[in-house]
Amino acid sequence: MFKMLSQMHPGLYWVAVERNRLKRRVSWVWDRRKYATSLSTEERVPNLVKRHSSRLIKTLGNTELWLQKNKVHNLRICVPLIDGLIVKPGEAFSFCRLVGRPTKKRGF
């Protein structure tokens, strides 16, 4: 049976993360997709296709509250980067491509 790098030894976790990041960046170059990047200059777009709403802090079993609060903090950083994004026909949406790498320096 095949084991993931991070399962072989905890010290290899960062290698697995970087491997997956590299794999994603390579796929962005080679898949020839056009990714959505244009943000709306208007406050509202005329046709809303999809809207979603969910509670940000959920109390589920043994979920620790500080993890939920960190999630909300990270979402507050991400929202301005994707708010108003227009995905045109033929374009793909990539959260990772729009938001970028989560780093301590960026507040994540």
pLDDT value, residue 10: 77
Assign 3-class secondary structure to 31-76. Answer: CCCEECCCECCCCCCCCCCCCCCCCCCCCCCCCCHHHHHHHHHHHH
Q: Mean of the pLDDT values across residues 35-40?
A: 83
More confident residue, 47 or 24: 24
Residue 85 to residue 41: CA distance in whole angstroms: 10
Query: What is the identity of the amino acid at 40?
Result: S
Q: Which residue has the higher pLDDT, 12 or 5?
A: 12
